[in-house]
């Protein structure tokens, strides 16, 4: 018996495991008849998942948590049985801002503390001269991009709510907005950083993996109620996504995967750009400078696909730090329970378990993150917007 | 380009809530705006330019914002929940979850609403209902237009296929058409499909 499923996604490279699962036939092999629906906004993906027009979705991890907590919108408990990727975002800045940061840089250009401190000097100089505050684009209020930008700049003393402007921009508008000066920088997933570099309007300042060793990015999200009623379907979907993720991680399959993802009804950008992202080998400057990272985007390796509740706790801590919600121990438990390693293990057994990752978060600033002591995490940072 | 000039209704001059329509389709926006005006909602402003969207909305200070779901800028509106400096915080429609059917109907129709906190629900409901029916009417219109276009396309293809048959087989136009129709019936396909395959074959054999 085949199960017809509608699954929503946003055209980004971190939807790779989902898209390849369908287009390479891994879902069909599990008896699932999946229709992928390309969407234009995270709000749409969230709403269509919430009201049942989608059975599952490629979703920003913080949106899954916010939806379960009822923050900003209707409260619908979400389960995330599969992590569609760790890391994968980058911070891209305009050539002018890049030059300004480099002129103030005291240290390694890939050291996020050095660049954050340089940014704070740039911000101070601009304020003295009466210039407009710098504007940073990110994809959604409840997004990893928002928290990663904030974490980075605040570590250097830049208050993201006072010293600069943070604005939401849909990913396809990022590059144009940087080109026309609407924003000075942005944090977004692939392929948009590379598109900005290729078109000569931006420089990649950081891979997000400079800021956090492991950061949950997108999850495969289902409604918790639906998951409870359809455990076999969830397991089949997890297995198919896992096979696809393993397929993508084999270097000899990357070109084929990139071609599938490049199709116009999928991500719809050049396959070469997509493959650079999967390989973690990116052009970071219009002058042709390349940079390679083994942690740029983790799809399956280093246990990346197994949901880690510590990641959910970290994201919840950022919501509290920046005043999107007030802290409560119950809400922390709800947030952690969104990430479902139990469903992942039920689907894959021993097969899904890779080598244990040494670091759970691995942030460049502050003490190691303890999911059971959010208070200590928040107390470690001077800048924040905690609601008491 | 705005399809209609913006009109700023003076605050407090009437009790009609100020409604902003964010839609890049000028026709759909006009249909919706007309419906709202007929229903007595006089303070309606259409924004079709997505540049500086938030700044424009803050300047207009609406009670209700309507946006189509094909618009990526919807995520920009979600930011309004976060901005504490905005005096009047808009909220997503029916965030109290008491009306799941309305949410479903509006998503199905392809529209979403944001409503300023404190506006009474019974005042919002007629706006949203009207919005849903106008969006559905527009989708129906669009569907009819698409069908008409594809019928026109089919006719062009059939005419060209007839021409090829007339030339290659020395048939009259009527005979060519009869041949197309009988082939379509035999193969259980549409005449347009048979005509298209003749065009494709003739391209290949050129």
CA distances from A58 to A65, A179, B74, B105 (A): 14, 29, 18, 23
Q: Higher-confidence residue: B6 or A41?
A: A41
* B83 in contact with A, Cβ within 8 Å: no
Looking at residue B10, what is its pLDDT?
Answer: 41
Question: Nearest residue of A to residue B92 by CA position?
Answer: A73
Asked if the structure places residue B177 within a domain, the reply is: yes
- Calpha distance B50→B48 (Å, rounded): 6
- Calpha distance B117→B4 (Å, rounded): 28
**Model pTM?**
0.86
Query: Taken in order A314, A315, A321, A325, is the CA torsion positive or negative?
Result: negative
B200 and B175 together in one domain: yes
Question: Residue B99 pLDDT more than 80?
Answer: no
Q: Do A324 and B82 touch (CB under 8 A)?
A: yes
Asked if the structure places residue B4 within a domain, the reply is: no
Tens digits of per-residue pLDDT, B20-38? Answer: 999 988 888 998 899 999 9
Task: Find, among A243, A242, A306, the residue nearest to A80 by Cα.
Answer: A306
Domain with B119 in it: what CATH number?
3.40.190
Residues of A in contact with B72 (CB under 8 A): 40-41, 170, 172-173
B156 and B187 together in one domain: yes
B155 and B180 together in one domain: yes
B128 and B180 together in one domain: no
Looking at residue A152, what is its pLDDT?
Answer: 98
Min distance B189 CA to chain A CA atoms (Å): 26
Question: Nearest residue of B to residue A38 by CA position?
Answer: B70
Looking at residue B8, what is its pLDDT?
Answer: 43
Tens digits of per-residue pLDDT, A199-254? Answer: 999 999 999 999 999 999 999 999 999 999 999 999 999 999 999 999 999 999 99
B122 and B158 together in one domain: no
Looking at residue B87, what is its pLDDT?
Answer: 45
Q: Do B103 and A47 touch (CB under 8 A)?
A: yes
State ipTM.
0.89
Are A252 and A246 spatial neighbours (Cβ–Cβ below 8 Å)? no
Are A142 and A60 spatial neighbours (Cβ–Cβ below 8 Å)? yes
Task: Find, among A7, A2, A66, A14, the residue nearest to A280 by Cα.
Answer: A14
Question: Nearest residue of A to residue B94 by CA position?
Answer: A74
Q: Do A170 and B107 touch (CB under 8 A)?
A: no
Are B178 and B186 spatial neighbours (Cβ–Cβ below 8 Å)? no
Tell me the DSSP string of B169-199.
Answer: H---HHHHHHHHHHHHHHHT--HHHHHHHHH
Among the listed ranges A242-246, A372-376, B70-74, B109-113, which one has the minimum average pLDDT value?
B109-113
Residues of B in contact with A51 (CB under 8 A): 100, 103-104, 107
Are A371 and A313 spatial neighbours (Cβ–Cβ below 8 Å)? yes
Picking from B94, B126, B144, the residue at the C-terminal end of a domain is B144
Residues of A in contact with B74 (CB under 8 A): 40-41, 43-44
Length of chain A (residues) = 388
- Calpha distance A192→A199 (Å, rounded): 11
**Averaged pLDDT for residues A175-184:** 95
B126 and B66 together in one domain: yes
Q: How many helices (H) and strands (E) does chain A have?
A: 17, 14
Are A183 and A166 spatial neighbours (Cβ–Cβ below 8 Å)? no
Domain with B192 in it: what CATH number?
1.10.10.10
Q: How far is CA A342 from the centre of its chain?
A: 22
- Calpha distance A49→A27 (Å, rounded): 19
B194 and B96 together in one domain: no
Residues of B in contact with A169 (CB under 8 A): 76
Min distance B203 CA to chain A CA atoms (Å): 26
Residues in contact with B167: Cβ distance below 8 Å, sequence separation at least 6, in sequence order: none
Asked if the structure places residue B10 within a domain, the reply is: no
Q: Do A41 and B100 touch (CB under 8 A)?
A: no
* B6: confidence class by pLDDT, cuts 50, 70, 90: very low
Q: Provide the 3-class DSSP secondary structure of residue A7.
A: strand
- Domain A3-86+216-268+299-367 CATH superfamily: Periplasmic binding protein-like II (3.40.190.10)
B154 and B129 together in one domain: no
- Calpha distance B92→B113 (Å, rounded): 7
Residues of B in contact with A167 (CB under 8 A): 54, 76, 79
Tens digits of per-residue pLDDT, B143-173? Answer: 888 888 888 888 999 999 999 999 999 999 9
Q: Domain span at residue B180?
A: 148-204
Residues of B in contact with A72 (CB under 8 A): 78, 81-82, 92
- Calpha distance A288→B114 (Å, rounded): 45
Domain boundaries, chain A: 3-86+216-268+299-367
Q: Report how many domains make up chain B.
A: 2
B198 and B137 together in one domain: no
Query: Which of B50, B74, B104 has the CB atom closest to A44's CB atom?
Result: B74
């Amino acid at each position: 018996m085949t199960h017809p499923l509608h699954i929503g996604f946003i055209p980004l490279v971190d939807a790779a495991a989902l898209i390849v699962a369908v287009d390479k036939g891994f879902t069909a092999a599990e008896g699932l008849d999946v229709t992928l629906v390309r969407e234009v906004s995270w709000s749409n993906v969230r709403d269509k998942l919430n009201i049942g027009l989608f059975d599952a979705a490629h979703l920003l991890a913080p949106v899954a948590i916010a939806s379960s907590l009822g923050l900003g919108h209707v409260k619908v408990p979400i389960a995330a049985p599969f992590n569609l990727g760790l890391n994968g975002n980058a911070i891209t800045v305009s050539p002018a801002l890049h030059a300004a940061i480099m002129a103030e840089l005291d240290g390694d250009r890939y050291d996020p503390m050095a660049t954050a401190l340089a940014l704070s000097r740039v911000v101070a100089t601009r304020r003295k001269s009466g210039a407009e505050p710098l504007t940073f684009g990110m994809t959604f209020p409840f997004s990893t991009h928002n928290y990663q930008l904030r974490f980075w700049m605040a570590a250097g003393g830049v208050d993201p709510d006072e010293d600069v402007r943070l604005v939401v921009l849909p990913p396809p508008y990022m590059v144009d907005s940087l080109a026309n000066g609407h924003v000075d920088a942005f944090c977004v997933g692939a392929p948009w950083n590379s598109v900005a570099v290729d078109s000569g309007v931006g420089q990649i300042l950081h891979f997000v993996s400079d800021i956090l060793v492991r950061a949950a990015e997108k999850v495969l999200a289902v409604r918790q109620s639906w998951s409870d009623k359809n455990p076999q379907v969830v397991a089949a979907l997890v297995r198919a996504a896992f096979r696809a993720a393993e397929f993508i991680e084999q270097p000899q399959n990357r070109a084929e995967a990139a071609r599938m993802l490049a199709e116009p009804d999928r991500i719809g950008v050049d396959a070469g750009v997509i493959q650079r992202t999967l390989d973690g080998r990116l052009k970071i400057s219009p002058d042709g400078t390349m940079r390679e990272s083994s942690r740029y985007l983790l799809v399956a390796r280093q246990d990346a696909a197994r949901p880690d509740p510590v990641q959910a706790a970290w994201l919840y801590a950022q919501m509290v730090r920046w005043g999107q919600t007030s802290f409560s121990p119950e809400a922390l438990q709800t947030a952690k329970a969104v990430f479902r390693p139990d469903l992942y293990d039920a689907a894959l057994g021993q097969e899904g378990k890779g080598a244990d990752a040494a670091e759970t978060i691995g942030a460049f600033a502050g003490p190691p993150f303890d999911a059971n002591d959010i208070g200590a995490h928040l107390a470690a940072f001077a800048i924040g917007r905690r609601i008491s | 380009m705005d399809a209609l000039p913006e009109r700023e209704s003076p605050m407090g001059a009437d009790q009609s809530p100020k409604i902003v329509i964010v839609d890049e389709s000028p026709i759909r926006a006009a249909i919706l705006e007309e419906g709202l005006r007929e229903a007595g909602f006089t303070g309606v402003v259409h924004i079709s330019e997505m540049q500086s969207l938030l700044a424009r909305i803050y300047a207009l200070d609406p009670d209700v914002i309507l946006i189509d779901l094909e618009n990526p800028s919807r995520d920009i509106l979600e930011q309004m929940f976060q901005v504490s400096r905005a005096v009047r915080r808009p909220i997503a429609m029916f965030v109290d979850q008491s009306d799941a059917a309305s949410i479903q109907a509006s998503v199905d129709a392809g529209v979403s609403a944001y409503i300023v906190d404190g506006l009474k629900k019974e005042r919002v409901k007629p706006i949203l209902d009207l919005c849903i029916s106008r969006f559905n009417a527009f989708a129906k219109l669009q569907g009819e237009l698409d069908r008409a276009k594809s019928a026109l396309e089919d006719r062009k293809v059939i005419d060209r296929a007839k021409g090829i048959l007339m030339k290659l087989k020395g048939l009259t136009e009527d005979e060519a058409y009869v041949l197309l129709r009988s082939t379509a019936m035999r193969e259980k396909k549409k005449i347009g499909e048979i005509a298209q395959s003749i065009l494709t074959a003739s391209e290949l054999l050129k």
